[in-house]
Amino acid sequence: MSDEQLLLDVTDKMADVRAKASKFIFALGVEMIVAQGVKEASARALLGKKLKEIGKPGLLRVIIAAALNEVADPRTYIAAAKPSPGGGGGGAQQSGNQDEDNTAGIQSWMV
């Protein structure tokens, strides 16, 4: 495989990862928020707003953290997420010991 073909293959796979990340954000994020009795449209609006504020990798980390930690109020947890100094997002209750960008790790399990 030539370098050019390899680059095209990697580019295609990255586009697929980005699409899967968006689907995951809205599938799990909406599910967690709606389970609290919030309307789906409101849940999607919150996720869309946070996506613009903290970016896809950041929001993905926040949603995963909320799910793994089984937070009692995922809507508030997600709403409180702030952009990290490195440009990604961090959860409302996450420590600062996280790598600045875990995108590669997230992408590896989404393929």
pLDDT in tens, 53-103: 999 999 999 999 999 999 999 999 999 999 876 654 444 434 333 434 444
Residue 107's pLDDT is 46
> Which token pair is 52?
């613009």
3-state secondary structure of 15: helix
How far is it, in rounded angstroms, from Cα 23 to Cα 18?
A: 9
Q: What percent of the chain has pLDDT over 90?
A: 54
Residue 87's pLDDT is 52
104 vs 31, residue with greater confidence: 31
> Which token pair is 7?
């680059």
Cβ-count burial 53-82 (b if 16+ within 10 Å, e if not): ebbbbbbbbbbbbbeeeebeebbebbeebe
The DSSP letter of residue 90 is: E
Average pLDDT, integer, range 6-20: 78
